[in-house]
Chains A and B, each alone.
Chain A
Amino acid sequence: MTKKCIHQEWNMGIDEAIEAEAQAQAICMQTKDYERAYLAFVNKQRPTFAGN
């Protein structure tokens, strides 16, 4: 996701890029990994990501 964003935003204006990233990040916030990271932080553990 990060590499794709750097690539596709190369020729975007900043405002368009910010909107593209708002959409990309909202998708990532729907992943279980995001919840895992949050729970790990709250429990003072290292997160184990599963790629979903």
Chain B
Amino acid sequence: MNDTAKRFLPSRLDFTTFKAKHFLWEVDGKVATVTLNRPERKNPLTLDSYAELRDTFRDLVYSDAIKTVVVTGAGGNFCSGGDVHEIIGPLVEMQRKDDMAGLLAFTRMTGDLVKAMRACPQPIVAAVDGVCAGAGAILAMASDLRYGTARSKVAFLFVRVGLAGADMGACNILPRIVGAGRAAELLYTGRSMDGPEAERWGFYNNCASPRPSWPTRRQWRNHLLTDRPLPML
């Protein structure tokens, strides 16, 4: 980026020294890795981690230092979705208090995370192992590229918890990835998909075992991750 272009950048955050409070943020060259990091609970999202992820992806719009973001989970699982005690419980409490504004503020906040992931210029790579459920499945869906393990389980399980399959853009985005008929099955039933099926259905770009296989393709990875010509910026 030339000096003139740099003058357009707000001086918000230096992502090379950034420390996230509610997930791990590691930078290797121009590749940032977001690791959801509560492995004892299969890495659920909390209100705090949702908001910090949203703010981070929003600020990445202004980062020239980061060219690709990898999203993954610690301890052999990707993400188990919204935390039952820290998110679902408080939402049920809002329902009891007839707090429609509070519920809407929550669903708009989660939707804003997907908007921020779609709007940032960096390709987002989801590396999925183990459980990838609910909002976790949405995080993978909202990424640009998805690589998973054979043992991984992807479940858009919203209908199983009394909600619509329409969560964070799923009814719009998932049909674009896997096709309408397959999206309907996943969203109507909330059933889980294993790695080979996710690859066959086009949800995963590649399925491998025991680790997501994309890091082994070094030349392609380097091209995607850092050395991009202008059309990819």
Chain A residues touching B, range? 20 to 34
> Given A3-B188, A18-B114, are A28 and B168 also a contact pair (CB < 8 Å)?
no
Interface string of A32-43 (1 = CB under 8 A from B): 011111100110
Q: In the complex, what residue of chain A is closest to B108 when comparing beta carbons? A: A22
Chain A contacts for B171, CB-based, 8 A: 2, 5-6, 9, 17, 21
Q: How far is the CA of A17 from the CA of B173 in the complex (A)?
A: 9
B84 within 8 A of A: yes
> Given A6-B187, A12-B172, A22-B111, are A35 and B92 also a contact pair (CB < 8 Å)?
yes
**Which among B98, B159, B161, B171 has the greatest number of chain A C-beta atoms within 10 A?**
B171
List which B141-176 residues lie within 8 A (CB) of chain A. 158-173, 175
Q: In the complex, what residue of chain B is closest to A39 when comparing beta carbons? A: B92
State which of B44-52, B99-107, B198-206 sits at the interface with chain A.
Answer: B99-107
Chain B contacts for A17, CB-based, 8 A: 169, 171-173
Q: How far is the CA of A23 from the CA of B84 in the complex (A)?
A: 21
List which B88-121 residues lie within 8 A (CB) of chain A. 88-89, 91-92, 94-96, 98, 100, 103-104, 106-108, 110-112, 114-115, 118
List which A12-52 residues lie within 8 A (CB) of chain B. 12, 14-15, 17-26, 28-31, 33-38, 41-42, 47, 49
Q: How far is the CA of A20 from the CA of B165 in the complex (A)?
A: 12
Q: How far is the CA of A34 from the CA of B106 in the complex (A)?
A: 15
Please state if A29 and B95 are interface contacts (CB–CB under 8 Å): yes
Q: How far is the CA of A12 from the CA of B172 in the complex (A)?
A: 8
Please state if A35 and B180 are interface contacts (CB–CB under 8 Å): no
Please state if A22 and B107 are interface contacts (CB–CB under 8 Å): yes
Please state if B111 and A26 are interface contacts (CB–CB under 8 Å): no
Chain A contacts for B161, CB-based, 8 A: 34, 37-38, 41, 47
Chain B contacts for A19, CB-based, 8 A: 108, 111
Chain B contacts for A2, CB-based, 8 A: 159, 164-166, 171, 184, 187-188
Q: In the complex, what residue of chain A is closest to B174 when comparing beta carbons? A: A6
Known pairs A5-B165, A5-B171; list 11 more (Cβ under 8 Å): A2-B164, A6-B187, A9-B172, A18-B112, A19-B108, A21-B166, A21-B170, A29-B94, A30-B100, A30-B103, A38-B89
